[in-house]
Structure 1
């Protein structure tokens, strides 16, 4: 069977090509930098050969990204050889030191403090020896001053670049930490709201069943059925949450896993029925024109009612409670009121239910209040701002109305 040649991956081929170009430029740089100095005319030296020698440093761009210190050493050696190699000995042949200063600034901005100090000292000594060896008279002070100012300016710009990079890194780390904290709080709220209500119902039904199992077997059987239904619902909700957390991207495994829709205000009747089975009657009242809500507002409103009913069942001792949901033009209002004994330990920091409700409302820029009533009982109220309806939504509503007619 004939062997089939498998071409290398494109990324690997590109990396090999870039490496070859890098070292080719490093080898050609000394010749391209010294050539203008050797070929300069003694009678008409000009600044063009010196600028050509400075521009030859472009060949070291690849080496600068890989080995900036090695590139700096090569550039210093070449620029130190330029004045003795040039046929014309004048201040113009110190122009290539501009490339050295630019490279030094890059080293200061990207390398460690120790490497930066070594690079600055090496550059300063090389420039001083070159200027002292090939400059005489009044040009010595002028060129030395210019070289020193250029060196200091380069170091300052490099330090500013270093601080900017460090600040950007810290800012990204802070943003990542905030995102992780927000996600952890969201997961904690979801798990608490899902489990707390169901566990409270299960505990009450289990207590009822254990008390009447011998005297009222039918009531005990009903309590066990309620426990089974609530347990299955809780497991289904936890499974949806875990699937949502594990879905990092589209895959066959994630698509095969069941992932139902999140609960919303449309399931309040079922929630009220479950709470009634647990021994607390629920009077559910709607006001305003009911309409479809954004998923985050719909879920948050449902979780607030769910957690408030859980607190009524577990802490109030009331036989009934009132739940009011109002659809306004620009806000959704939710209120849960009971006439029980209230919650013990409602001060901040006790429990996670009220804290979770307050966090949900704050994320939606709404208003939240929870506390005992003057005549006894407890009240939870939330107001969530609603976005303005879009034109598409209005058109859909119009079409739906036409279909109904």
Structure 2
């Protein structure tokens, strides 16, 4: 439950910025080659007649303007940007007196090829490579037709660098595509895993309810003749338990059916706020607030089927792990169906676990709001890292727990939000609708 750190400086440079830097670096390299530096008897490359004249300088300025324009368009209009960069390379070669387009003037084109291959459609990337190689071949063909000398070796080397830049971009695109496919598959497995966990908990709740029904039915059968009032009370308990169990099963089955594409096609799912949408992040087994590994979705020291009544015990266990938990209850507690009571506790438990493992905070606040008779609201917030307080898992949160919490809220058709607090720290909140006349046993 910590904010993602700012990206390093190099990652904040845009692709167009890299292309502009490549062009300017190439121009600087070209000038240094044609300048006698200390320790040299002469410049490594003869500057040529036009290079030092006013018209040569004007052409270099024009080429630089074309290159900067292409760099500015690289993100929004990559095809047009490549045209500008190729034109800049050709114009810059005119005052240099070279027999082939040098690598220094083609460096920004290589950057553009990498960006287009990495981010653009494959067809567009293929056209960009053919256009770039075609300009190199066309430059040599024009010189041959004019009867001028050419340097085939230099042009082949420049073409090779262009192909390598294009291949690196394609490799980057394929890597991202594979990572996205893997992420989607893991996300689908994550939702399935969380639903299985919720289904197991519902099985335990139903088994508990059926046990109560069996006990009450047996008691009613024994006293129905001698104590009709006690039998009537037992039958009322049976009716209440049966209705609650049936309502919970309906909520569960309705949510689990959304995993079936055919069911979704036959019956559109009920619209819910966007904050209940299932994420495509990963999910994993998280440790309990005490730092122990969960076994059968339970935590040592807590009841087998915990509810909001066990928050004080959870706060005590979390305090032993080094994080103080303040539990605030707003409004008069109202009876809750077992599945909602358990889900609310699991959301708080997962949030507190994230505080212990990822936030670096030394305290957090759990708020349970019962003021609205139709909605149960729970929230967990911390104030961010505290100097000297080490995290159990250093670094930013993995996002595993948030997926499970969203899935639980989605099952109950509630609203879920999670994000950094304006004053620092992190906040998780959930609003769970309560069925009319909900009661607990």
Larger Rg: 1
For Structure 1 versus Structure 2, the TM-score category normalised by the shorter chain is 0.3 to 0.5
**TM-score (ref. length: structure 2):** 0.40
Structure number with the bigger relative contact order (C-alpha 8 A, sep ≥ 6) is 2
Instruction: Report the TM-score, using the length of structure 1 for normalisation.
Output: 0.44
Structure number with the higher helix fraction is 1
